[in-house]
Amino acid sequence: MKVEIQMPRIKSKFAETAVIAALTALTAVTTMLVRVPIPATNGYFNIGDVFIILAGLWLGPRAGFIAGAFGSAIADAIGFPVYIPATFIVKGFEGWITGIIARNSASNSLVRPVTAALVGGFCMVAGYYLFEAFIYPLLGRQIPMFNITDPGAAFIALLPNAIQGLSGIVGGLALWKAMTAGSQNLDTSDNQSLSGKHG
Amino acid sequence: MNAFELPAFLKLQHLRPWWLKIAVLMLIGYPLFSNRPAAFIGAAMGQHLPETLGPMLAWPLITFFVWACCLPSLGTAKLLDYLAAAYAMAITTVVSGAVLRLALPAIFPADTADNFRLLRVYFNILAVFPYSLTFLNSFSVSNLMNRLTRTRGRFREAGLHLALALRICQHVGEVIPKMLLVWREENPDLLLPRCRDDWYGISPLVKWPMWFVRSISQWIFACIILTFEPIPVMVNEIEQIDESRDSDAPDKV
């Protein structure tokens, strides 16, 4: 008998708003929780990507974008405001692309969610490199505030960003898997139709 | 601790109309998001003090100013709770940055200017964290919902979504300072790895990363549980208000 597992579906529009708001706030909190400054780029390493990946995998591209863009930008406002524009775009895109790829993955195969998380993490690393190596130096010519990084510094930041992306992928997938397992247990033990399709 | 109360008129929650409240809050937060006030204070103090001391003192002064503005709205007990969380975040940021600079200079190269920036980040976190929570708590969700119950039209639903999101964010703001207590009280072994018998003899190179990953993952799980716990009640409340729209509407014949 084939068992298909799905994440808990949120039917109420208000419940969806509440969960997206909670994931956005949690993204901001976890981004602020562990911050390791990277002097070369004036940026920092964090573990906030865990909830961005989770939001994309669980609730789709819109939730992934909101959690990534707003949650991370709020965290940047506390201590590193110059990175708000880059973070809004890069992290928002990370959540959106994760959600787009993982959307409608109804089977119990892990290939699609893992691919989605990997692409999301890669987009984050590539996006920050793009901003730190090219866009910020270019903007810095007109607005001195953005003159904080250069291609060399962006190259140095690739390793911490890659570790950050990897921790986000692993953590996000682990949380998503834990929630999937939880919903499967709920379904089989209590015979509730919160999640899962048996066929 | 007996927390003293400041006069009610100083509380930002009581400021009306709402746009004036936002204007005052933005005025208070202006030195945190612009370099101009710090540069001005630093330059003024630099005339009387040694060259580096003036700019260095500008940030603590701005931080004290923000705390003083937040104090009447939050009260002493709440402000101290928020400051505990802010200090934990600021110290972990600065210490982790400093340790990694020493341990991995190739990946984290730094000079004197970077140390100065780190100090600025430290005070910035101390000031912005209580400020942002004061900003969030200055708006009453219950007042907003009361207004929405009397409102008709397309903005009502958007308002309800906004009220719910604001309530969730306020709730998370309440959860964070408590999380520090949870970490200390519930997991003393995680904070004191040297006291753990089962880790005796294990190399610190293994012990510390293990402790770090376990502490963080436990913190995240506790944070998820505390954050999601009241969501069904909040959603139910909003849904009841939303449903009351249909019952309040005049009957169509």
Per-residue pLDDT, averaged over A174-186, amounts to 70
What ipTM is given for this predicted complex? 0.78
In the predicted model, is pLDDT for residue B253 greater than 50? no
Q: What percent of chain A stands above pLDDT 90?
A: 43
Per-residue pLDDT, averaged over B109-120, amounts to 76
Dist CA A58 CA A10 (whole Å)? 10
Counted residue by residue, chain A has a size of 199
Amino acid symbol at A62:
R
Per-residue pLDDT, averaged over A179-183, amounts to 67
Q: Identify which of A54-58, A100-104, B208-212 has the greatest average pLDDT.
A: A54-58
**Rg, Å, chain B Cα set:** 23
Chain-chain contact of B235 with A14 (C-beta, under 8 angstroms) = yes
Which of B235, B242, B244 is the best mutation test for A, with the most CBs of A within 10 A? B235
Q: Is A149 helix (H, G, I), strand (E, B) or coil?
A: coil
Q: pTM here?
A: 0.81
In the predicted model, is pLDDT for residue B191 greater than 60? no
Whole-number pLDDT of residue A14: 87
**Rg, Å, chain A Cα set:** 18
Whole-number pLDDT of residue A93: 96
Dist CA B100 CA A37 (whole Å)? 9
When CB atoms are compared, the residue of A15, A33, A37 closest to B235 is: A15
Whole-number pLDDT of residue B158: 85
Do residues A195 and A9 make contact, with C-beta atoms less than 8 angstroms apart?
Answer: yes
When CB atoms are compared, the residue of A29, A30, A156 closest to B107 is: A156
Q: Show the tokens assigned to A5.
A: 């597992």
How many other CB atoms are found less than 10 A from the CB of residue B152?
10
Selected residue with higher pLDDT from B193 and A190: B193
Closest residue in A to B164 (Cα–Cα): A18
Dist CA B126 CA B121 (whole Å)? 9
Q: Show the tokens assigned to B80.
A: 């101290």
Find the Cα–Cα–Cα–Cα dihedral A180, A116, A50, A161, rounded to 10°. 160
Whole-number pLDDT of residue B208: 75
CA distance B80 to chain A (A): 18
Q: Identify which of A116-130, A152-166, B18-32, B113-127 has the greatest average pLDDT.
A: A116-130
- For chain B, the structural domain boundaries read 14-195+202-246
Whole-number pLDDT of residue A196: 34
Selected residue with higher pLDDT from A87 and B55: A87
Tell me the chain A residues in contact with residue B95 when contact means C-beta distances shorter than 8 Å.
Answer: none
In the predicted model, is pLDDT for residue A169 greater than 90? yes
Tell me the chain A residues in contact with residue B129 when contact means C-beta distances shorter than 8 Å.
Answer: 32, 78
CA distance A45 to chain B (A): 10
Note the pLDDT tens digit of each residue in B124-182.
889 988 998 899 888 888 888 778 777 777 778 888 888 889 999 889 888 877 776 66
Quick one: which of A63, A44, A26, A150 has its CA closest to B225?
A26
The torsion angles phi and psi of B217, rounded to 5 degrees, stand at -65, -40
